[in-house]
Structure formats: C-alpha cells, structure tokens
Amino acid sequence: MPPLSTSRIEIAGIPVAELARQFGTPAFVYDAAMIRRRLADLRQFDHVRYAEKACSNLAILVLLRRAGALVDTVSGFEIRRALAAGYKAEGKVPPIVYTADIFDTHALELVVAHNILVNCGSPDMIDQYGDLAPGREITLRINPGFGHGHSQKTNTGGPQSKHGIWHEQLPDCLLKAGQHDLSVTGLHMHIGSGTNMEHLAQVCGAMETAARQAGPSIRSISVGGGLPVVYREDDPTVDLEAYFELCDAMRKRLENTFGHQVSLEIEPGRYLVAESGYLITEIRAVKHQGANLFYLVDAGFNNLPRPILYGAYHPISIVPADGDTNRPETDVIVGGPLCESGDIFTQKDGGFVATRRLPRATVGELLVIECAGAYCSVMGSNYNSRPMAPEVLIDEGQAKLIRRRQTFEELTAGESMPDA
Ligand SMILES: *Cc1c(COP(=O)(O)O)cnc(C)c1O
C-alpha cells in the first residue's frame, strides 16, 4: 500500500475547513458511502450482523439497517438503541441478538419482554434465562480455547479470556439448556478484534468441531467479528473471498451431515465503520519541549482513547489553511488538552511517546485523526468535564449533525447538590 497522505483538504467531497466552521471542533465526521462499501464487501455471507458497540449512534444504526445489516448488542441500552433505530425485536432471522457473558437485571428483563435472541456466553446465563423463558431458542458463544487480537486487551478467546463458554463445557451446557427446555439452534465464536487470516481460519475448524458435538439442532453459525482494518501501511489484511470460501465449505459439510440448511453469519464492528470516521481537531498550541515539537489539539483521550488504551496507531493529517499539500514535514508529537500526561495521540503500547512525520503547521490550522469510526466516539468520556463531541454524517454530499455537542446542562444532568 502507498503511504497514507499526511495532508487532507476534504472529507467525502466537503472541505474540512467548512465542516469545522459549521460544526466546530473537535467533531467526528462519518462518510456513509464508506460504510455501505464495507458492508457490500461482505455480501457473500448470508447475514452480516453489525456489532453495534463499535459506533452506536442511532443514525449509523438506521443507515446499516436500511443497507441490510442485522445487529448484535451487548447491553440493555444497546438493545434499546437498536429498537429505537427501527430494528424489530423478532423475525425469522433474528434482527437483534444480545451477546454477553452476563445478564444484568435490565438486560434480562428486556430480552424476556421482547423475545430477543440471546447468545449465551456463560452457563449461568442459560440458567437465568431458562428460569424465566423456558421453551425459547438460544445460541451459545463458545470460547474455542484460543484467541487473537491487535492487543492483549482485544483478545477474546483462550483461557485468559472471560468471554464465551469454555469449549470443553459445551456438552454440559447442551444438557443444561435441555433441562430448561431451551433449544440451542446456533453457535457463535468471536476470538478477538483486529485479528488475522490464520486465526480466523482456526475459528472455522473449531466451529465445525463444536457444531458436530451439538448436532442437527444447529441451524445457524456465526464466525464473529474481528476482521482487521488497515490503520497503517503494513497492517495485515484478510482475503475476504478466501475467508468466505473457508467458512462456506465448513457450513456445507455441516449441511451434509445434518441434512438441512445452516445459515452463515459474520459479525463485524470495526470493519464496517472504522475507515468511515474522522475526528476533526484544531491545533491550539505548537511548542518545543527540549528537542521535541508538540502540536496540541482541542481533542483528547476523552474523545478518542484507543491510543492510551492500546497504543493504537491512527493516521493523522494536517489541513493546510493555504491549500499547500506539499509542505515540508517534521517529526511531531500530537497531544490533547487533558491534565494527564498520557493524553498523547502518537504513543506506542506501554505509553511510550512516539513522533509522527507531519507537515509543518501553525496554531489555528486543523488536524484530522483518521480511521476514527470504530471504538472512538463510543469510548468517549466526560473526563476533565469536557463535553462529548458532536457527530456528523455525510451522505450524498450533505453533512448532517447526528449528535449535537453536549452542553454543560446535559453534562451535569442527573447530579444533585445538597440543600444549602
Ligand atoms: C466486539 C464484538 C464484535 C465485533 O468485533 P470487531 O473486531 O469490531 O469486528 C463481534 N461480536 C461480539 C460478540 C463482540 O463483542
């Protein structure tokens, strides 16, 4: 891949400067066409189930619903977001699935009341659901005994992971489900986020073994999410065609054994939305500390915590106010406004500060943090009492505000003071 450009003038056809004028900074901007393109990449699978937690804005959910994606939710309020965005609770193919390792009281009430398909990640979930809703169908999330992710913290399989039902306990859990009159109609595995082809291929093998153990009650299999995204030039990619072929062959072998159709689902979050997103910031200070040059911008890890959480790399570009995209580059450290030394966008795993080759820029110019559609805004916080940034969706050349900047009143709503 050619190196990603470090200068940017527009996003989805609209000048970045105009977006900043209209919506202020910091602001997240998403390109609808990119989300649709990524969904279309996966059309060979019977169903694409969007892992809502990657970017749960209602407008993004509506976009994906209209484009044909189903949805995977991991909390009670995520279920409510999916319902609010127009997903039906029930259907021949369940539009909404609840996947978790526990039920909190609210989530349990919701799935029971709305008859939402539950993908159980622990034996206790089977008991708790079975007590309230005997007779229903469930699916089981299996931990195949191995996992992989772009970071230890995004690895969701293996003995160190809290996720899923340990593969050796599958027979016990099938019995447990039977005792509650629950039928296990599907199996699911999700081993990590930002994984690679080799590990995804392993999932297919483990899935086939588990499905054969469970037997012909299995009518759907989900190979989870985890598809990687290219954040930097040398990041691994997955050959989607080859991956589909592998999954499809496994599915066909199961169909032959079971004598009925088995549907094949994929459940990406990152892959669908990461590349669509941009965080527009303004450079508010340019300063030297010893030999280091810092660009300090008005967004921090309160807006985009992936670098401080995982040492994640995001492409960064400068929006040259004079339109000159050939400015000389220099090594810079990009940081935010928070009173916390880890508030650095250019850092490596372990918190080590790194530099980035970026064009020379001055105070007042815009800086864009790219590939910021997945696990960015949704991981935002109010740390330092900074408001949640607005979100903007560009579709067919039109930029629409899909979340306004949080106000002071919204930020403090729900707090109360003792009487004077
Ligand atoms: C987070 C998650 C996903 C999506 O993972 P990506 O790496 O974003 O594709 C899929 N399924 C489940 C159950 C998840 O928790």
Nearest CA to ligand 1 atom 13: 99
CA of 157 to the centre of ligand 1 (A): 12
Q: Which of 152-161, 218-227, 394-403 shows the lowest per-residue confidence on average (mean pLDDT)?
A: 152-161
Closest CA to 269 of 391, 191, 119, 374: 374
The question of whether 204 is a catalytic residue gets the answer no
Task: Check pLDDT > 80 for residue 77.
Answer: yes
| Ligand 1 lined by 120 (C-beta under 6 Å) | no
168 alpha carbon – ligand 1 mean position (Å): 23
**How many angstroms separate the alpha carbon of residue 73 from the centre of ligand 1?**
10
| Cα 199 to ligand 1 centroid, rounded to whole Å | 15
Mean of the per-residue pLDDT values of the chain: 95
Q: Which of 48, 60, 72, 227 to mutate to test the pocket of ligand 1 (most atoms within 8 A of CB)?
A: 72
Min mean pLDDT across 150-154, 184-188, 196-200, 252-256 is at: 150-154
Residue 197 has pLDDT above 90, yes or no: no
Atom of ligand 1 nearest to the CA of 149: 7
Quick check: CB of 149 below 6 Å from ligand 1?
no
Indicate if the pLDDT at residue 1 is higher than 70: no
Does 264 contact ligand 1 (Cβ within 6 A)? no
Token output for 332: 């810079």
Atom number, ligand 1, closest to the C-alpha of residue 154: 7
Cβ(347)–Cβ(300) below 8 Å: no
Say if CB 346 and CB 293 are below 8 A apart.
Answer: no
- The confidence score (pLDDT) of residue 2 equals 53
Residue 3, pLDDT score: 61
Q: Which of 55, 120, 339, 371 is catalytic?
A: 339
Residue with the bigger pLDDT between 86 and 148: it is: 86
Residue 154 — very low, low, confident or very high, per pLDDT cuts 50/70/90?
confident
Distance 99 CA to ligand 1 centre (A): 10
* Centroid of ligand 1 to alpha carbon of 274 (angstroms): 13
Residue 201 has pLDDT above 70, yes or no: yes
Q: How much is the pLDDT for 82? A: 98
Say whether pLDDT at 85 is over 90: yes
From residue 284, how far is each of 173, 325, 355, 363 by CA, in Å?
Answer: 56, 20, 18, 5
245 vs 191, 237, 331, CA distance in Å? 19, 16, 44
Tell which atom from ligand 1 comes closest to the C-alpha of 74. Answer: 15
Protein residue with its CA nearest to atom 14 in ligand 1: 51
Confidence band (pLDDT; 50, 70, 90) for 326? very high
Say if residue 311's pLDDT is above 70. Answer: yes
Distance CA 371, CA 7 (A): 14
pLDDT at 193: 79
Q: Is the pLDDT of residue 287 over 60?
A: yes
Ligand 1 contact, 228 CB (< 6 A):
no
Average pLDDT over residues 53-63: 98
CB of 137 within 6 A of ligand 1: the answer is no
Query: Mean of the pLDDT values across residues 23-35?
Result: 98
* Residue 309 backbone dihedrals phi, psi, to 5 degrees: -75, -45
Q: C-alpha angle 309/315/318, rounded to 5°?
A: 120
pLDDT digits 0-9 by tens, 354-407? 999 999 999 999 999 999 999 999 999 999 999 999 999 999 999 999 999 999
335 lines ligand 1 (CB under 6 A): no
Does 223 contact ligand 1 (Cβ within 6 A)? Answer: no
Going by alpha carbons, the residue nearest to atom 2 of ligand 1 is 51
Please say if the pLDDT value at position 198 is more than 90: no
Over residues 412-419, mean pLDDT: 95
**Cis bond before residue 387 (omega within 30° of 0):** no
pLDDT greater than 70 at residue 274: yes
pLDDT over 60 (residue 117) = yes
User: Which atom of ligand 1 approaches the CA of 54 most closely?
Assistant: 8
Specify the DSSP class assigned to residue 145: S
Residue 170 has pLDDT above 90, yes or no: yes
Residue 375 Cα: closest atom of ligand 1: 8
190 Cβ closer than 6 Å to some ligand 1 atom: yes
